[in-house]
Amino acid sequence: MAARKTHKIDASDKILGRLAVEIANLLRGKDKVDFTLNTDKGDQVVVFNCDKVKITGRKIETKKYYRHSGYIGNLKEKSYTQTPSDKVLYSAVKGMLPDNRLRQRWLKRLKLYNNEIPQLTKKDYEK
Mean of all residue pLDDT scores within the chain: 90
Residue 120 or 25, more confident? 25
The Cα–Cα gap between 67 and 51 comes to 22
> The domain containing residue 116 runs over which residues?
6-55+85-126
What pTM, to 2 d.p., does this model score? Answer: 0.86
CATH number of the domain that residue 10 is part of: 3.90.1180.10
29 confidence band (pLDDT: 50, 70, 90): very high
Label each residue of 20-84 as H, E or C: HHHHHHHHHCCCCCCCCCCCCCCCEEEEECHHHCECCCCHHHHCEEEEECCCCCCEEEEECCCCC
- Sequence-distant (6+) residues with CB within 8 A of 96 are 20, 21, 23, 24
Report whether pLDDT(125) > 60. no
Number of domains in the chain: 1
72 within a domain of the structure (yes/no): no
75 within a domain of the structure (yes/no): no
